[in-house]
Amino acid sequence: MKKYILTGTLAVLLTFGGLSVPALAGPEDVVVENAWSRASIGMNRPGAAYMAIRNTGDEPVTLIGLTTPLAMMPEIHETKTNAEGVSSMSPAGEIAIAPGESVALEPGGLHAMLMRLKEPMTEGDTFPLTLLFDDGGEVTVHVPILGIAARGPED
């Protein structure tokens, strides 16, 4: 059984820890940390967001999709680079996270691909991104938008 209340204490702790805020409703077993994204140039180019998703519970969870008011087609993507050094990107499908495990969305690997932006991503803003799980659970993260040349959550 998963619990669907995110305690205020956890949110506050994470806020003061300088991490992104896993917000409002969601399985409390899922903790999202170090979320960040890069600013966009206008709205024609897709954006990407990164974070670590940790399953602190004792049952597996499966991430099945994303929603955000920022983009019409948010989707988990994976970048792969082959032996010849050629990089390509494609939808990653469902992502299972075992109890106690975490999945990293980071440059050059998994990313939240934000296709068809509804508004430009402006440095200094944040946007809500909701992770959808197969049991109907949801976790909303407020993702900070850093500069276009940002390399990680601290930049």
Give the residue with the Cβ less far from other proteins, 9 or 44. 44
Whether the Cβ atoms of residue 11 and residue 21 lie closer than 8 Å to each other: yes
- Indicate which of other proteins, Cu ion, none lies near residue 114 (CB less than 5 to 8 Å, by partner kind): other proteins
Per-residue binding string, Cu ion, 72-101, x by CB under 5 A, is -----x-----------x------------
Q: Is 124 in the site for other proteins (CB under 8 A)?
A: no
Binding mask 66-85 for other proteins (x = CB under 8 A): -------x-x-x-x-x--xx
- How far apart, in whole angstroms, are the C-alpha atoms of residue 105 and residue 120? 22
Please check whether residue 145 is in contact with residue 26, taking contact to mean a CB–CB distance below 8 angstroms.
no
108 binds other proteins (CB under 8 A): yes
C-alpha distances in angstroms, 112 versus 7, 10, 118? 25, 24, 16
Inter-residue contact 88 to 98 (CB < 8 Å): no
Q: Please say whether the beta carbons of 57 and 101 come within 8 A.
A: no
Answer for which of 31, 76, 114, 145 binds other proteins (CB under 8 A) is 114
Which residue bears the tokens 């989707």? 75
> Applying CB under 8 A, does 100 fall inside the site for other proteins?
no
What residues make contact with other proteins under the rule CB under 8 A?
38, 41, 44-48, 73, 75, 77, 79, 81, 84-89, 91, 107-108, 111, 113-116, 147-151
